[in-house]
Amino acid sequence: MQTFKIKDEFIKLGQALKAAGLVQTGVEAKFAVQDGLVKVNGKTELQRGKKLVPGDVVEFDGQTLKIE
């Protein structure tokens, strides 16, 4: 499990995927989310702008990212 520390109170899902290196571009993040390939806290998330807060867990492409 990879951890990602945020500086503000939240980070958007698309930004987190890109910043953590799970996708290369924002466009790739957009399509991954739209295609239902990303889970947040165990549930499929279809909103790229979903606000993630510390404690949230993102799953994508066999990788897990915990927001801190």
Q: What is the pLDDT of residues 45-60, one digit of tens each?
A: 999 999 999 999 999 9
Number of residues assigned to the chain: 68
What's the one-letter identity of residue 31? F
CA distance 43 to 27: 22
| Per-residue model confidence (pLDDT) at position 48 | 93
Domains and CATH numbers, the chain: 2-67 (3.10.290.10)
Q: Which amino acid is at 1?
A: M
Q: What share of the chain is helix, strand, coil (3-state, %, to 5)?
A: 25, 30, 45
Kindly report whether the global pTM for this prediction surpasses the value 0.85.
yes
pLDDT at 9: 96
Q: Which segments of the chain have a pLDDT < 70?
A: none
